Chains A and B, each alone.
Chain A
Amino acid sequence: MASITFREVEGSSLKYWMLFGGIGLFVLFGFLSYLYMHHHGHVVTGMDNQVVWGLPHVFAVFLIVAASGALNVASIASVFNKPMYKPLAPLSAILALALLAGGLLVLVLDLGRSDRLIVAMTHFNFTSMFTWNVFLYSGFFVLVGIYLWTMLDSSVKAYTKVAGTAAFLWRLILTTGTGSLFGFLIARALYGSAMLAPMFIIMSFAYGLAIYLLVLAASYAWTGRPLGDVVMNRLRYLLAVFVAAVLYFVVVYHLTNLYFAKMHGAEAFILRDGGDITTLFWVGQIVVGCVLPLVILLTGLGKQRSWVLVACVLVILGGIAQEYVTIIGAQAYPLEMFPGMTMKSTFYDGVVHDYSPSTPEWFLGLGGVAIALLITTFAVKVLRLLPVSLDDATVAKLEH
């Protein structure tokens, strides 16, 4: 098998530093938003006692789910032994670490008492999915870190497969854990389903790959390195399979719910009567997130790189819409304490809860995305993560 040369990006151009500074600005805005929210309390957000998890959770969960998905490209190389994916693996690992870091930061900075983070790290309750997730996240950092090390340091290269397999299994458990954050909640009609765990895994495949493809294409375009169509096409079809699988899971999830009379109200809310949530579901999650990307990826449009990248952007936007519907939609629908009865109270019982995210929430969420991108931008400059060339000839040699 031909060897591949990895090299750092030079990262000394004005363009690099402008990119770095631009992303850094969003990190700064995110941090300022955090300070603002921390100083005044959650009263300055759109969140209330009805919708208790808002836009920051949407971004945090999206990034955490995408993180494990971004590792897939590396897993295909190391676990499933596909040589074409080997040169793509280091970027996949660093992206996974960066996205997880971004997501976790948003999550912890949105705590009511973020100053008590140390408490979360020293007091554990093992019946809580959150506690399990603390260990799953830490373990992911360690395992992917070791995996990346085995890829970058030739003296430990022999352990790549072992480390890669461990990281792959761990990421499956991790996303099961993320899905179970919601799946283990008995209170709300739209949660409490084992479907959420596998659905989150398949969602992670799609989001992670879409982000990976965009970052890969951007790094190669902006550094003037060749990126051939073979790589792009392979990843394009893979993305199409993942997106189709997401759509399948969403359809099965809602069809299952529709069969149970007790779920009719909640389903009608998401699918028909939920206003913005319904629009986000049909337009955001289904059309933008699934149907349009599938059309682009599986038709002639997909032969053009720019359209593939458009499809990636659509998958990401659809993914954020999907998390929004999953997290906010399920809270906006009132708790059914007395099925069949209408309810009224000063605490907004029995009414659909409005939620509109405030500016600090947007910037906190975007700050998490920016952190992930900043880490990646910095990592490709200091580490040998990207092959000098991924043109068709180089890639073809790998497979023979």
Chain B
Amino acid sequence: MKSMTDNSPASPERRRFLGAATVAAGVTLAPGVMLVEVAHGRPEDQAASGAVRWGMLVDATKCASGCDECVSACSTENGWTPVAESKHPKQAPQWIRKLELQDPLTQQETNLPMLCQHCAEPPCVDVCPTGASFKRADGIVLVNRHTCIGCRYCMMACPYKARSLVHEPLNDTQKPDVPRGVGCVEACTFCVQKVDRGDGTTACVEACTKAGHNALVFGDMNDPESEISKRLRELPTKQVRADLNLNVGVRYHGI
């Protein structure tokens, strides 16, 4: 080591040391910073950011007939009873469902999951008398369990039939981070608990990917570098009931 008096900024050795230290610090910290950046996880006291617009791409050409992995995964993650196990199927909540479409003329069939479309202009939010239906800054449409009075006006207003009323008392099916309750209306939350935890994806997307179909992509549509943005740029997609001009957060390819 040189003497203290020789400690000038021009010292090449010191410059090398500082450089190495910076690189080392960078290597240590970067993954953490990057992860936070990529996954958009955020602390509880921080509000959702309007810079983000969560969205989903459904590639109906890859959605397999008869497969309902996304539906089961949603039910498991969010704690709602699968309709097949319900004693009251017509009254059972369904946050996501598989739709089978057929053109009666051409016989062409299409499969796709239908869920809350997380509209930028959500009719359910417009009609809710108490403001319990609301849209978060990051585009996720949710229902506040504490102020929903169960009037079901949002269910009348939703063009996608995406909402369900909890018709009977819930027993032990609830998950700690997914509050539900009898008499309240609920719908797909884009797995908001996972999003806020920083998972950066939803249960249905994970299940679809795991099953090898890759029909679903979730991500930040405002980030031009996100996978969903890239795919949306490449694939022609449509909005369901585009005539209503609701600017939905779920875009479909192949419909």
> Is chain B a partner of chain A in the same complex?
yes
Residues in A29-87 with C-beta less than 8 Å from chain B: 40-43, 47-50, 52-53
A124 touches B130 (CB 8 A): yes
Quick one: CB contact mask for A114-145 with B, threshold 8 Å, 1 for yes?
A: 10110110011101111100100000000000
Q: Report if A338 contacts B (CB, 8 A).
A: yes
Report the minimal beta-carbon distance from A333 to chain B, rounded to whole angstroms: 12
B240 touches A42 (CB 8 A): no
The 27 sampled A-B contact pairs (Cβ below 8 Å) are: A40-B169, A41-B168, A42-B91, A43-B91, A43-B167, A49-B155, A49-B161, A111-B150, A111-B183, A112-B148, A112-B183, A113-B148, A113-B149, A119-B147, A120-B129, A120-B149, A123-B132, A125-B130, A187-B156, A335-B160, A338-B101, A340-B104, A341-B102, A343-B101, A345-B99, A346-B89, A349-B114
B152 touches A112 (CB 8 A): yes
Q: Is the interface of A mostly helix, strand, loop or mixed?
A: loop
A40 touches B168 (CB 8 A): yes
Q: Report if A337 contacts B (CB, 8 A).
A: yes
Q: Report if B164 contacts A (CB, 8 A).
A: yes
A184 touches B182 (CB 8 A): no
Given contacts A113-B184, A342-B102, A349-B99, 7 further A-B contacts (CB under 8 A): A48-B88, A49-B164, A127-B127, A128-B153, A130-B127, A342-B101, A343-B99
Instruction: Say which size band chain A's interface belongs to.
Output: 35 or more
Q: Report if A188 contacts B (CB, 8 A).
A: yes
Interface residues of B (CB under 8 A from A): 83-84, 88-94, 97-104, 110, 114, 123, 125-132, 146-153, 155-161, 163-169, 182-185, 240-241, 244, 255
Quick one: CB contact mask for A332-368 with B, threshold 8 Å, 1 for yes?
A: 0001011011111111110000000000000000000
Cα A18 to Cα B184 with chains together (Å): 41
Cα A50 to Cα B97 with chains together (Å): 14
| Residues of chain B within 8 A of A111, CB atoms compared | 149-151, 183
Cα A359 to Cα B166 with chains together (Å): 20
Report the minimal beta-carbon distance from A52 to chain B, rounded to whole angstroms: 4
A42, A124, A340: residue with the most chain B Cβ atoms closer than 10 Å: A42
List the 10 closest A-B pairs by CB distance, nearest first: A112-B150, A112-B183, A130-B129, A43-B168, A187-B159, A48-B90, A123-B130, A43-B167, A125-B131, A113-B183
Name which residue of chain A comes closest to B156, CB basis. A185
Interface residues of A (CB under 8 A from B): 40-43, 47-50, 52-53, 111-114, 116-117, 119-120, 123-125, 127-131, 134, 181, 184-188, 331, 335, 337-338, 340-349
| Residues of chain B within 8 A of A114, CB atoms compared | 149-150
| Residues of chain A within 8 A of B168, CB atoms compared | 40-43
A185 touches B240 (CB 8 A): no
| Residues of chain B within 8 A of A127, CB atoms compared | 125-127
Name which residue of chain B comes closest to A121, CB basis. B130
B91, B98, B103, B104: residue with the most chain A Cβ atoms closer than 10 Å: B91
Given contacts A52-B156, A123-B130, A125-B129, contact A344 B161 (CB under 8 A): no
Report the minimal beta-carbon distance from A124 to chain B, rounded to whole angstroms: 7
Report the minimal beta-carbon distance from A54 to chain B, rounded to whole angstroms: 10
| Residues of chain A within 8 A of B102, CB atoms compared | 341-342, 344
Cα A50 to Cα B114 with chains together (Å): 15
A43 touches B129 (CB 8 A): no
B101 touches A341 (CB 8 A): yes
A188 touches B99 (CB 8 A): no
Cα A127 to Cα B125 with chains together (Å): 8
| Residues of chain A within 8 A of B129, CB atoms compared | 120, 123-125, 128, 130-131, 134
A345 touches B97 (CB 8 A): yes
| Residues of chain B within 8 A of A113, CB atoms compared | 148-150, 183-184
A129 touches B99 (CB 8 A): no
B149 touches A345 (CB 8 A): no
B159 touches A337 (CB 8 A): yes
B103 touches A340 (CB 8 A): yes
A337 touches B241 (CB 8 A): yes
Cα A347 to Cα B244 with chains together (Å): 22
Report the minimal beta-carbon distance from B175 to chain A, rounded to whole angstroms: 20
Cα A113 to Cα B147 with chains together (Å): 9
Given contacts A111-B150, A113-B150, contact A345 B167 (CB under 8 A): no
Cα A50 to Cα B103 with chains together (Å): 23
| Residues of chain B within 8 A of A187, CB atoms compared | 123, 156-159
Name which residue of chain A comes closest to B244, CB basis. A186
Name which residue of chain B comes closest to A347, CB basis. B97
Given contacts A40-B168, A134-B129, A186-B244, contact A345 B157 (CB under 8 A): no
| Residues of chain A within 8 A of B101, CB atoms compared | 338, 341-344
| Residues of chain A within 8 A of B184, CB atoms compared | 112-113
Given contacts A43-B88, A53-B152, A187-B159, contact A344 B128 (CB under 8 A): no
B131 touches A124 (CB 8 A): yes
Cα A43 to Cα B81 with chains together (Å): 15
A112 touches B97 (CB 8 A): no
| Residues of chain A within 8 A of B149, CB atoms compared | 111-114, 116-117, 119-120
